[in-house]
Structure 1
Amino acid sequence: MLAHHSPIAIDVFARYHIDPREIRPLNERIVIDKKNEEFACAFCGAPMSIRKTKNGVVWSCSKYPACKNMVPASVAAQVAQAFVDEYNRTHFWTSRSKRCPNCGGKMQERRNRYGRFRECIHTAVCRYRENG
């Protein structure tokens, strides 16, 4: 009877071909490269690029076939906001360096016939714009 109640010694990750990195929380799968102020893959360190998929806007690793890391844009925006909050505490912060609340990308200042405004640099995917 005791033999049936012993703990199972099976490596689930190896048995079902799961990479242990894939079970990490989404906010730990993306980091900000502080030198370039861009998103980087937490697994391989490559830059992340924004893509539009059938499930929405995601940041994915630029080395896609080799590294399949993907993070929703909303999670990336939370990571960017945490970076901005930390940066505000330690450095002088200008309005030009503000991050997009939708995807976490950089904001750029533009001007049209109606005046000045800021928009996300990922205009083809994000389309976030604010007057100011």
Structure 2
Amino acid sequence: MNRVISVEQDLELLANLAARLLETPVATITLYDRNDDGGADLLDTISHVATSCDKSWAAGHPGIDIKQLGSPRSAMTQHLGLYASVPIRNGNGSTIGMVACADDDARDLGDEQLEILKHISAIASAVTRA
């Protein structure tokens, strides 16, 4: 099996799991271009986005750019009630991406949900190294 396709499928499954466990209509897993020199705009450095998005939620929010959830700074301009994200780190501790979730409801994630987000990030890191 082509490993690149498998990684993309694994990340899609993780995004779906995150949305379900966090009870949010949107969850994304974003990987940044590893060749970025740090000078480019973050949105230009995104190499893959795995997304779980409720279709009815997306239809009701045509102005929301889901890809911007990979950048906390950009996501904050989306006027969401809930936005939470955790970095994906490589073995050296460098940030290589982001796991994020969003919702209309203004709420904070509970401790258990934050731990779930961290675990999804750790799994995504392992998947990208495999």
TM over 0.5: no
Normalising by structure 2, report the TM-score: 0.25
Between 1 and 2, higher relative CO (CA 8 Å, sep ≥ 6) is seen in 2
Q: Highest Rg: 1 or 2?
A: 1
Normalized per residue, which structure has more helix? 2
